[in-house]
Amino acid sequence: MNNLRGSGLLLHITSLPGDYGVGDFGKNAFRFVDFLNETGTRFWQVLPLNPTDNALGNSPYSSSSAFALNPLLIDPEQLLESGLVEQSDLISISTAKGKVNYLQAYEFKKKILHEAYLNFKSAGNRVEFQLFCNRHKHWLEDYAMFTAFKDYFSGKVWTSWPEDIRNRKSGALQELREELYDQVEKAMFAQFLLAKQWFALRDHCNEAGIQLIGDIPIYVQHDSADVWANPRFFKLDKKGDPTFVAGVPPDYFSETGQLWGNPVYDWNALKKDRYDFWVKRLRHNFALYDIVRIDHFRGLVGYWEIPAGEETAINGKWVEAPVWDFYNEITKRFSFLPVIAEDLGEITPDVREFIMKTGFPGMRILQFGMMSKDPSDPFMPHNYLNNCVAYTGTHDNNTLKGWYQNEIEDHQRDWLNKYVGKNIHEDNVSFELIRMLLQSAAGMAVIQMQDLLDLDESDRMNKPGSTGYWEFAFNWEDLSQERRDFLKELNVLYQR
């Protein structure tokens, strides 16, 4: 990876234009790939594709499964083409400009997948479906049962289910699974359809010379198939509730730290099992993407552990993980590790040493460098290494325009003017900083789609610790020929 030089765009699937309330794996995703190809852009970075929940704010980092794909992303038109649904089943969903309509999209996608399953049951070829189920047996059955059981128990957290089901007693599990046979199989069938659509899109990317960068959240949600099926790998009490939860200490985004609430791993248990859960997770994601970014990578070296019940992340502590033993095991299982290390936040010398010795490219955030006013800051563009991935901002950052308008002070704007060598203002800040990013020595330079479109804070993807985000969606009319030409020109000029 350290020999690559190219540019990329960070845009989640849900943020694509769509006729059904949300971006999906359909025609607009293929059109976006063609746009990348036309502008000489080599990478498309997406956020986690796992199932989301409106009750959890639709965050792709809060999911019921670390393996499953999000049913929200199914393309109804491909179901129509394959004869699984009728034209009358498709209804257009209006959306506010620049916003995903999650509520209606969830309802519609659930209904269309139900219709597809009923038609498949009556006349479908089961051979290909059964092969898929066999190939993904290590996670698919548990995920499908978890999904069906959760509906059956009125959405309750799995720790509130009847004891025999909560503790996965084989007799009780099989009895309920048989009672809910259709619901379980429907969840598996949805994953089969989603996988077919995703890999068709990935093939289109690769044929166009575009590499897909995916994202693995380091932690999994407590109320998930992963924790229910593998409680021994997490620090839980006898009832299955977390004894310690994950987060980070006070940082740029929060004075009280970030209390994520995910259960932390029991690394001793993972070690005894030779990290099989992580091996399977990595193998699954290496199949989905060309390159995988591991979110909060430093948690593999040492993690911030907070006693369950705390209201903030302040009273946590750093705990070491057996990172070298883990890494040695992983390298035995994979001949190549196409990994980006998200090395942001409080990075200690042991984390830097690990990343340096493994050779994984780390990350640099342009906004952080421009705020520091320190020429030696590693986030300043002139200090970027070739073996790094530089971003205008991540999904947690403001847009460049929003950052300039609302997050920096006058003395930092003066510094920015000096550094760029011209007068920067809100009408040119996005374009000048994108130019600076692509000029840099960073092997990979990734631009938030909002920054290419010169959008302000109202189109921010997420703000940690806040609600009402993950709703950004762009419209094709926003992507003017001028912006297309701008991106293409910079890719050629700076050999991206």
The band of 1, judged by pLDDT with boundaries at 50, 70 and 90, is low
CA distance 218 to 390: 20
- In the numeric block, the tokens 């938030």 are attached to 448
pTM given for the model: 0.96
300-309 pLDDT, tens digit per residue, is: 999 999 999 9
Does the annotation mark 342 as catalytic?
yes
Catalytic residue among 295, 343, 456, 471: 295
Give the residue from 36, 116, 35, 45 showing the smallest Cα distance to 74.
Answer: 116
Average pLDDT over residues 24-50: 98
Domain assignment present for 272: yes
Domain contains 309: yes
Q: How many CB atoms lie within 10 A of CB 467?
A: 8
Please report the pLDDT score of residue 3 as a whole number.
62
Tell me, yes or no, whether 292 lies in a domain: yes
Amino acid sitting at position 466: S
CATH of the domain at 420: 3.20.20.80
Judge whether 355 and 362 are in contact, CB under 8 Å.
Answer: yes
Alpha carbons 27 and 33: distance in angstroms, whole number: 10
**What SS3 state is found at 271?**
helix
Q: Give CA–CA dist 101/124, Å, rounded.
A: 31
| 3-class SS string, 321-346 | CCHHHHHHHHHHHCCCCCEEECCCCC
Does residue 12 fall inside a structural domain?
yes
Q: Is residue 342 part of a domain?
A: yes
The average confidence (pLDDT) of the chain is: 95
Lowest mean pLDDT among 1-10, 322-331, 349-358, 448-457: 1-10
pLDDT tens-digit readout, 145-171: 999 999 999 999 999 999 999 999 999
Q: What is the DSSP letter of 461?
A: S
pLDDT tens digits along 476-486 = 999 999 999 99
Token duo for residue 293? 């970014």
Give residue-wise pLDDT tens across range 424-446.
999 999 999 999 999 999 999 99
269 part of a folded domain: yes
Token look-up 């060598």 returns 421
Q: Which helix (H) or strand (E) holds 367?
A: helix 366-372
What's the CA dihedral at 143, 147, 152, 156 to 10 degrees?
A: 100
Catalytic residue from among 53, 223, 305, 342:
342
Which tens digits make up the pLDDT trace of 165-196? 999 999 999 999 999 999 999 999 999 999 99
Look at residue 281 and tell me if it is in a domain: yes
The pLDDT value given to residue 465: 80
Look at residue 2 and tell me whether its pLDDT is greater than 60.
Answer: no
* pLDDT 10s digits, 363-399: 999 999 999 889 999 999 999 999 999 999 999 999 9
Considering its fold, how many domains does the chain have in total? 1
- With respect to residue 168, please indicate whether it lies within any of the assigned structural domains: no
Catalytic pick from 396, 451, 456, 471? 396
359 pLDDT tier (thresholds 50, 70, 90): very high
- What is the amino acid identity at position 441? A
pLDDT digits (tens, 9 = 90+) for 186-243: 999 999 999 999 999 999 999 999 999 999 999 999 999 999 999 999 999 999 999 9
Three-state DSSP state, 464: coil
- Which helix (H) or strand (E) segment holds residue 390: the answer is strand 388-391
User: Residue 94's pLDDT is what?
Assistant: 72
In terms of Cα–Cα distance, which of 460, 383, 463, 369 is closest to 412?
A: 369
Q: Which domain holds residue 256?
A: 6-18+27-70+201-493
Using N-to-C axis directions, what is the helix angle for 137-152 and 181-207, rounded to 10°?
130
* Distance separating the N- and C-terminal Cα atoms of the chain: 14
Does pLDDT of 252 surpass 80? no
Q: How far is CA 240 from CA 158, 160, 266, 311, 379, in A?
A: 9, 9, 13, 20, 41
Q: Among residues 255, 266, 264, 263, which one has the least CA distance to residue 312?
A: 255
